[in-house]
Structure 1
Amino acid sequence: MTPTPRIAALIGAVALVPPLLGVAAAPTHAAPAAPQAPAAAPATAHGPPAFITATKKVTIKAQKQQRSYWCAPAAGRALLYPLLGSALPSQSKLAGWMRTDSGGTSGPALRNGLRKALSTYGSGQYDVVALRPGSQSAFHTNIKSAVGSKKVALIYRVYFGYKPWGRQVNNKTGHFMVVRGYTTGSGPKVLWWDPWDNTYHTASLAKSWASVKKAGRHGHVAAKS
């Protein structure tokens, strides 16, 4: 399926954002007091304005995956919520549409299942596309375009043992999780939801990209066309 121009910007876009340089406040040096000198008026320090960090996120349908290999159906259900509201297929129905078995779910099958759900429960035309960002900047741009502009979440695959947070272990089982938001500022972060245990997490952009890159850079997004 050829993506429409409105969603094509989600695929492989690269944002070249100049780094924000922190400016340290000038130290204040107090002169020793003279016994008979009048007290000096305190100096007023004018520092640079604080950089305000904002959080942008979408509401998803959070629900623990009902089987150990149903991360894709659970993530798909969360992804569909901003588009379908409460009219959501069950994890079981999505697992059937995605041809999910004990070996998991393939990327193409995940997209086909999402398309089936949107055509069955939705109203209007939708694009469901694969994302393969080639850099951290492109990964960041995909998230900002989806969450900030389209108001939808994204699904990205990671390895189960190499999630962007916590202790990493040598487990390369593929695992689909949902990117539901991001923060702005000099140290941007990514807001994740993990269907394995129905938990929310925040990780740095760098660690998030490292996990996605390690697992092959496979992402998915759906939006109205």
Structure 2
Amino acid sequence: MTQTPRIAALIGAAVLAPPLLGVVAAPAHAAPAHPVISTAPAPPASVLATKKVSIKVQKQQRSYWCAPAAGRALLSRLISSGLPSQSKIAGYMGTKSSGTTGAGLRNGLRKALSTYGSGQYDVVALRPGSQNAFLTNIKAGVGSKKVALIYRVYFGYKPWGGQVNDKTGHFMVVRGYTTGSSPKVLWWDPWDNTYHTASLAKSWASVKKAGRHGHVASKA
């Protein structure tokens, strides 16, 4: 199956009424009464939450094995035991010294899931056309399906740190996001086995620059 998961719309927080001020008048010939102030409860502070999944990670074992390493991390959400090696996944994906194609990545995931997993799975290619669609895919994967996603960036244009003119394709894993008006994306980079958090805008810019290629696998 190749249908991209949907995600329900977020429900906005209710707006509380402003505080009310009321003064009780003093009776005739009586000493002035102190004002009685009645206030509505203060609106709760906006609470940001982090939605993420745990993945089993392993630094890529060859310079061109970012896809097998990222695929292995993604598979760790779906295969409870007997996780295949990077070498085995690289074989399934048809990975060569020039790298891994998107079709090879998907075929490799399907082969690994049919060999090591149990049940039926969807392995879907993602091509978000906007930043909002990119975030929706992440929310549907991490928040609803409880799985990780793989996105392609250029090696020299990662969402964090300085950028260099290196347009080598590089697959990395999205493992979570933060809520709120300025959401962030949680990444894992198989190149050096490191975790990173980057703004949604910078994350989308990196994905868009590399052609908007993503992948996700989940239980059908």
Bin for the TM-score computed over the shorter chain: 0.7 to 0.9
Shift of 1:64: 0.3
Q: In structure 1, what is the equivalent of residue 111 of structure 2?
A: 116
CA RMSD of aligned residues (A): 2.8
- Contact 2:4–2:126 under 8 Å retained in 1: no
Distance across 2 between alignment mates of 1:222 and 1:18: 27
Name which one, 1 or 2, has greater alpha-carbon Rg: 2
Alignment counterpart, residue 153 of structure 1, candidates 148, 158, 163: 148
Deviant stretches of 4+, over 2 Å: 7-10, 15-20, 46-49
SS in 2 for 1:139: helix
Alignment counterpart, residue 134 of structure 1, candidates 129, 141, 146: 129
Q: In structure 1, what is the equivalent of residue 46 of structure 2?
A: 51
Shift of 1:50: 1.1
> TM (normalized to structure 2)?
0.84
Alignment counterpart, residue 93 of structure 1, candidates 88, 91, 94: 88
Aligned pairs (5 A) from 1:24-63: 48-63=43-58
Alignment counterpart, residue 189 of structure 2, candidates 194, 197, 201: 194
The percentage of aligned residue pairs carrying the same residue is 79
> TM (normalized to structure 1)?
0.82
- Contact 1:16–1:137 under 8 Å retained in 2: no
Cα-to-partner distance string for 1:33-66 (whole Å, 9 max, x where unaligned): xxxxxxxxxxx9x754211010111111111000
SS in 2 for 1:8: coil
Shift in alpha-carbon separation, 1:19–1:163, aligned structure 2, 3 A: farther
Q: In structure 2, what is the equivalent of residue 177 of structure 1?
A: 172
Gaps of 5+ in 1: 21-43
Shift of 1:86: 3.0
SS in 2 for 1:216: coil
SS in 2 for 1:93: helix
Which gives a bigger RCO, structure 1 or 2 (Cα 8 Å, sep 6+)?
A: 1
Query: How many matched pairs?
Result: 204
Distance across 1 between alignment mates of 2:153 and 2:89: 20
